[in-house]
Amino acid sequence: MSDNNIGRKLANRYELIETVGQGSMGRVYLAEDALLGGVQVAIKFLSQTLLNEKMRERFVQEATTCAQLGQKSIHVVRVTDYGVSEDEVPYYVMEYLRGESLSKLIHVHPLAVPRFLGLARQIGLGLIAAHEGIVLQGKTFPIIHRDIKPSNILVTQDPTLGELAKILDFGIAKLMQADSDQTNCFMGTLAYASPEQMEGRELDSRSDIYSFGVMMFQMLTGKMPLRADTHSFGGWYKAHHSKVPQPVSEADPDLNIPKRLESLIMACLEKNVDRRPDNVKAVLQELAPLEEKYGAGLRISHRISRTLSKLPITEKKPGAPSEDSSTVFSMASWPKNKPIAEIVFYQPFQTSDQVWPTLWVMLPQRAIQADLIRTPYNNFICTMSPYPMALWLTVVYTNTKGLRWLPCYLDMKGSAGIEMAELLARMGRYKILFFALEEPQRCAHVTTANVVLPQCKLLKEWITIAKPQRPVGTPQDSKAILKSELNSKLKPKISAMLETAYPNLSLNVVGKVLD
């Protein structure tokens, strides 16, 4: 069905480009602001089916709420303008955010604890700003969102702050005004509503805390803490009032989360409002020491990733030859203790005069012999918490297979990982030995990759930092975090960089990650 609004211009300023979403009260469009040189904005219209005086007032209230809260907190979507179209439909203009909803992120994979803690803190800060209220006619009125759920949280990338969470859709938010009655009809989302919300009772910030608890449970496990017998008001009413939420540890027995975190989530899910945390500040106070332990390493890796992305894609170590003249590497044969499969691993390699850091890679024969293999990129990122671990990423290109991602993980508390990190930092280059699946007895191709000087310095720093570090988790925990970083953030960013640097390469063909 065609949309007559596309191409329309509002207030001789905002040109509607396309539909980008549907909120609880209306449709949202991407638009360009002609007054500001075509800056992209989002414009929300009140639904045609809701064009009555009461809903107009509520729509204005939503715009006013978001405008003020957006000024108070970067974790609430910011509203910049309000108006009424020629056909008398109210609309408001807000910042256009590129990102994904939290519901989509959870659907792909539950969040690792460090990432969960960072996003939960940001969502909590947005809720605190709402609960502290907005000023109307000189009076402060607290705001209860009443529809906190993953689809109302947008996760975007900020060039300075990294991953940034913003709360959306205050369409059913309620101003807690002393001289106004709370609505006695249910408005919200059944699976996330507090028991008192389903009863139509007067709400305070602890109702949002209950919804926040449901969402935190889902962020970690990908599951809901409660299940309704039927997806109906009656079914969810019974679930929220009489069913005991399952513990996080039962929903995912393999999820090793701190007991303190599980206890906090279960406290947020208390059916008795008086047994929940008093406010969101109390929730964040419980999360703070956990983020200090688990989140610091991830923040470091974000910062390192942003820094390294500004470095040249390739850089030769001054005075170092691009290729070693010795044939000793080409005489190597595939280790008997390694499977004949498309894998990658690292190990030191002793030549006549020194020890080299090397990557050993197995690929199909035609990918090695028929194509020119290039090594356009390598990078290192590290997390010190919950366990000191570094990701050593090499990207190679073959004409038949496109990009091949060769990640290795350096245990920064283990002797093998530390030895390899020291070799890489000292030499500033490493050898990549390619073997064919069909002929693993001898090395089919050898190439050299250079490590830029800032990365060498970082490797030395990580070795020093990791030595006194006391792990609060397992190597598998940190490896999972780094894998998530690679798949969700680094791969798209690196692919885009390589497309710019090597426009003639067919980078759209992306081979599997060898691991």
DSSP line for 265-305: HHHHT-SSGGGS-SSHHHHHHHHHHHHHHHTHHHHHHHHHH
E strand residue ranges, 364-454: 374-383, 389-398, 402-411, 429-436, 445-450
Bridge partners of residue 446, in order along the sequence: 433
CA 54 and chain centroid, separation: 38
In single-letter form, the type of residue at position 331 comes to M
Helix/strand/coil for 118:
helix
CB 215 within 8 A of CB 192: yes
Q: Are 365 and 384 in contact (CB under 8 A)?
A: no
Q: Which positions ≥6 away from 13 have C-beta within 8 Å? A: 33, 34, 35
Q: Is 254 a catalytic residue?
A: no
Burial class of residue 469 (count of CB atoms within 10 Å of its CB; 0-12, 13-18, 19+): middle
Q: Read off the tokens for 71.
A: 């000024």
Q: How far apart are CA 365 and CA 333, in angstroms?
A: 15
**Residue in 33, 87, 147, 477 annotated catalytic:** 147
Q: Is 157 helix (H, G, I), strand (E, B) or coil?
A: strand
Spell out the residues 6+ positions from residue 47 whose beta carbon is closer than 8 angstroms to its own.
Answer: 25, 26, 27
Strand 174-175 versus strand 143-144 pairing type: antiparallel
CB 428 within 8 A of CB 456: yes
- Interatomic CA distance for residues 192 and 118, integer angstroms: 21
Pairing of strands 389-398, 402-411: antiparallel
φ, ψ dihedrals at 173, nearest 5°: -60, 155
Q: How far apart are the first and last CA of the chain?
A: 47
The strand pairing partners of 90, in sequence order, are: 84
Q: How would DSSP label each residue in 195-255?
A: HHHHTT----HHHHHHHHHHHHHHHHHSS-S---SSSSHHHHHHHHHHPPPPPHHHH-TT-
Token output for 478: 């940190």
Catalytic residues: 147
